Chain A
Amino acid sequence: MNLLATTAPTGALVLVTAVFLASAVEMVEALTIVLAVGVTRGWRSALEGVAVAVGVLAALVALVGPPLVHWVPLSALRLVVGGLLLVFGLQWLRKAVLRASGLKAKHDEDAIFAEHVAELNAVPKATGRDATAFTVAFKGVFLEGLEVVVIVITLGSTSHPSRLGLAAAAAAAAALVVGVIGLIVHRQLSGVPENAMKMGVGLMLVSFGTFWSAEGVHVAWPGSDLAVPVLVAWYGLVAWLLVTALKRRAGQPAPGLASAGGPAHG
């Protein structure tokens, strides 16, 4: 039917990179919350909240992913999921461009950590199991992880052949890597180049979204799967031009993509 079988490694590489980066970014945000909870309220309830959230997220992938792959026609799946990824990716990319050009405050994990610690310290501690610690850790991991679940299911299920397992493994690997780094650097998550990673994820989600939603309406991509890296490069160029133009308009120097500094979080 097309060249997907022969060009599969390219698509798989981009898929793994996209899922890994997206998962890593969300994990950094979740880890900031969990660290704040653990430091202020104790680790037991915080880690219980994390474990339950991870279990629920894994169950979501297992319950929603395989039925999508087996029962929904591939072209319909690509149209809907491609559209979803396109909207989602455009949101990420728009935010990343605005942050890189200094028009939107950057995500500062140190500031967010301090904010969470202050909020959690204001709540009286309970004896035994700490419901506040459990709830805050659960919500932090679950809500940040939900975006990863959507990305894993959409990217994994629309590949042909299905790469749901590969996408889930990439997300789990990112969670593990960020978790280990988090334990080592402890509270210094601001050192992670989160904003640049978000730019990368946005580029890949928009590229996959364009590719699959177009395939869903029977667009014939020249080079089949090889069009995905070309789309990534195209949108990268567009993002760079946008950042440069916005910086120039604001009278700032125009450095590399997503490298602008800035306080606060957003």
Chain B
Amino acid sequence: MADRVVDDRPTALRWLAAFGHFWWEFLIGDTPELFIGAVAVIGILALLCLQVGLRTAAAYLAPVLVTLVLVASVWWAARGHVS
């Protein structure tokens, strides 16, 4: 079997794949924990804000949660898991 891979997908599909690949690299790349963490932070805030009385408290919680995501990612990298 030859090793060469021929991409015979339609042009539109190839463009779509390239577009998806660009956004994947742009948003996730080698730090998926930051993407997952940011989504989790927004999710937690959204749940809190379902109760109108907690909307101001959520403002104080937001930077704390984001900080936890950053510290966890930096710590992970510092331990040599990520370049």
> What separation, in Å, do the CA atoms of A242 and B67 have in the docked complex?
11
- Given A84-B27, A104-B83, A219-B45, check contact A214 B74 (CB 8 Å): no
Q: How many interface residues does B have (CB within 8 Å)?
A: 31
- Given A98-B74, A222-B56, check contact A90 B34 (CB 8 Å): yes
Tell me, yes or no, whether A218 is within 8 Å of chain B by CB: yes
> What separation, in Å, do the CA atoms of A88 and B63 have in the docked complex?
16
- Given A87-B27, A91-B31, A222-B56, check contact A242 B66 (CB 8 Å): no
Tell me, yes or no, whether A47 is within 8 Å of chain B by CB: no
Among the listed B46, B49, B73, B83, which residue makes an inter-chain contact with A90, where contact means beta carbons less than 8 Å apart? B73
A231 contact set on B, CB distance < 8 A: 63
A93 contact set on B, CB distance < 8 A: 70
Counting chain A CB atoms within 10 Å of each CB, the highest count among B31, B35, B42 belongs to: B42
Tell me, yes or no, whether A192 is within 8 Å of chain B by CB: no
Tell me which residues from 191 to 214 in chain A have a Cβ below 8 Å from any Cβ of chain B: 206, 209-210, 213-214
- A-B pairs with beta carbons under 8 A, tally: 98
The distance from the CB of B78 to the nearest CB of chain A, in whole angstroms, is: 6
- Given A83-B39, A94-B77, A249-B78, check contact A214 B58 (CB 8 Å): yes
> What separation, in Å, do the CA atoms of A83 and B73 have in the docked complex?
17
Tell me which residues from 58 to 110 in chain A have a Cβ below 8 Å from any Cβ of chain B: 79, 82-84, 86-88, 90-91, 93-94, 97-98, 101, 103-104
The distance from the CB of A29 to the nearest CB of chain B, in whole angstroms, is: 16
Interface membership of chain A positions 119-134, coded 1 if the CB is closer than 8 angstroms to chain B and 0 otherwise: 0000000000000000
Tell me, yes or no, whether A4 is within 8 Å of chain B by CB: no
The distance from the CB of A144 to the nearest CB of chain B, in whole angstroms, is: 13
- Check A94 against B34 for contact (C-beta < 8 Å): yes
> What separation, in Å, do the CA atoms of A88 and B31 have in the docked complex?
11
Tell me which residues from 35 to 83 in chain B have a Cβ below 8 Å from any Cβ of chain A: 35, 37-39, 41-42, 45-46, 48-49, 55-56, 58-59, 62-63, 66-67, 69-71, 73-74, 77-78, 83
- Check B78 against A246 for contact (C-beta < 8 Å): yes
- Given A86-B66, A97-B74, A234-B63, check contact A217 B31 (CB 8 Å): no
B67 contact set on A, CB distance < 8 A: 234-235, 238
A206 contact set on B, CB distance < 8 A: 66, 70
- Check B70 against A90 for contact (C-beta < 8 Å): yes
The distance from the CB of B40 to the nearest CB of chain A, in whole angstroms, is: 11
> What separation, in Å, do the CA atoms of A221 and B49 have in the docked complex?
12
Tell me, yes or no, whether A220 is within 8 Å of chain B by CB: yes
What is the chain A residue whose CB lies nearest that of B55? A220
26 A-B pairs in the complex with CB atoms less than 8 angstroms apart: A82-B42, A83-B42, A86-B38, A86-B41, A86-B66, A90-B31, A90-B34, A91-B29, A91-B34, A94-B73, A98-B74, A101-B78, A103-B77, A103-B78, A104-B77, A206-B66, A210-B66, A213-B45, A214-B62, A217-B49, A219-B49, A227-B59, A235-B63, A242-B74, A246-B74, A246-B78
What 6 A-B pairs are tightest by C-beta distance, nearest first?
A217-B46, A220-B55, A90-B34, A218-B49, A219-B58, A86-B38
Residues of B at under 8 Å CB distance from A?
26-27, 29, 31, 34-35, 37-39, 41-42, 45-46, 48-49, 55-56, 58-59, 62-63, 66-67, 69-71, 73-74, 77-78, 83
